[in-house]
């Protein structure tokens, strides 16, 4: 994945970057709709990179339709991880509640604690797995819509095609998530500005992953 490190700096190469990021940051203040539009704007920015332009897409609320499909796919994977963790967590809660009535069993209490920790571990590992798989399912969604993004077999194949590229892309996305959170140090609006910056970073990471996969298949 050549130049993937440029994800940190490429947005400022756009002469209009402050205004674009500020507008997207303001749209992100709109509950749900803002996030959906942000995803669509990220995909439109990805299109710019595909065309060889190191400029972000115009900032407006015109990307809701395109972002909706990716939002649904991301939500589906998130709910799947939550459901698996919940299947483990609910018995832990029931055991803990049952031990609050009458004589408690140390064995059941230990089991409840173990299931609690296991549920947390499953949720954490599942979230990380979704992050590392996101380049594959984002590109699959962009190409084939919701059905493409939820084609687990195809997403698995894309992710395993080159584990090094998947690992690098996943780590860069984690870094983008860290950048997104930096705005909380400044103020509420600041976190939305850095979130917009992180979306632009994601577009670069996905494009780098796409190019690396294309080079691998053409090799």
Cα 84 to Cα 93: distance, rounded to the nearest angstrom: 15
pLDDT in tens, 16-41: 999 999 999 999 999 999 999 999 99
Which domain covers residue 103, as residue numbers?
Answer: 4-218
| Residue 35: Cβ-neighbour burial (10 angstroms; 0-12, 13-18, 19+) | middle
Strand, coil or helix: 159: helix
Residue with tokens 């400022």: 12
pLDDT in tens, 97-146: 876 665 667 788 888 899 999 999 999 999 999 999 999 999 999 999 99
Cα 87 to Cα 172: distance, rounded to the nearest angstrom: 31
pLDDT in tens, 172-194: 999 998 888 776 665 555 678 89
Cα 155 to Cα 171: distance, rounded to the nearest angstrom: 18
**Count of the separate structural domains present in the chain:** 1
Confidence bin at 51 (pLDDT 50/70/90): very high
Arithmetic mean of pLDDT over the chain: 90
CB atoms within 10 A of CB 16: 12
Q: pTM of whole model > 0.85?
A: yes
Share of the chain residues as helix, strand and coil, in percent rounded to the nearest 5: 85, 0, 15
State the greatest distance between any 2 C-alpha atoms of the chain, in Å, as a whole number. 70
Confidence bin at 59 (pLDDT 50/70/90): very high
CB atoms within 10 A of CB 1: 23
């Amino acid at each position: 994945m050549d130049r993937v490190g440029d994800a940190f700096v490429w947005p400022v190469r756009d002469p209009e970057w402050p205004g674009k990021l500020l507008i997207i940051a303001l749209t992100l203040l709109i509950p749900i709709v803002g996030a959906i539009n942000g995803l669509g704007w990220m995909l439109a920015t990805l299109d710019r990179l595909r065309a060889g332009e190191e400029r972000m897409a115009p900032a407006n609320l015109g990307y809701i339709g395109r972002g909706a499909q990716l939002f649904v796919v991301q939500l589906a994977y998130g709910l799947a991880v939550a459901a698996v963790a919940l299947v483990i967590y609910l018995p832990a809660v029931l055991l803990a509640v049952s031990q609050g009535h009458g004589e408690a069993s140390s064995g059941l209490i230990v089991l409840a604690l173990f299931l609690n920790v296991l549920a947390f571990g499953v949720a954490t590992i599942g979230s990380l797995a979704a992050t590392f798989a996101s380049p594959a399912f984002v590109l699959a969604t962009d190409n084939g819509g919701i059905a493409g993004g939820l084609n687990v077999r195809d997403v698995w194949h894309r992710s395993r095609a080159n584990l090094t590229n998947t690992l690098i892309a996943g780590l860069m996305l984690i870094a983008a998530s860290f950048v997104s959170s930096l705005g909380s140090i400044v103020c509420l609006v600041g976190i939305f500005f850095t979130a917009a910056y992180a979306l632009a970073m994601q577009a670069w990471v996905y494009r780098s992953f796409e190019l690396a996969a294309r080079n691998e298949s053409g090799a």
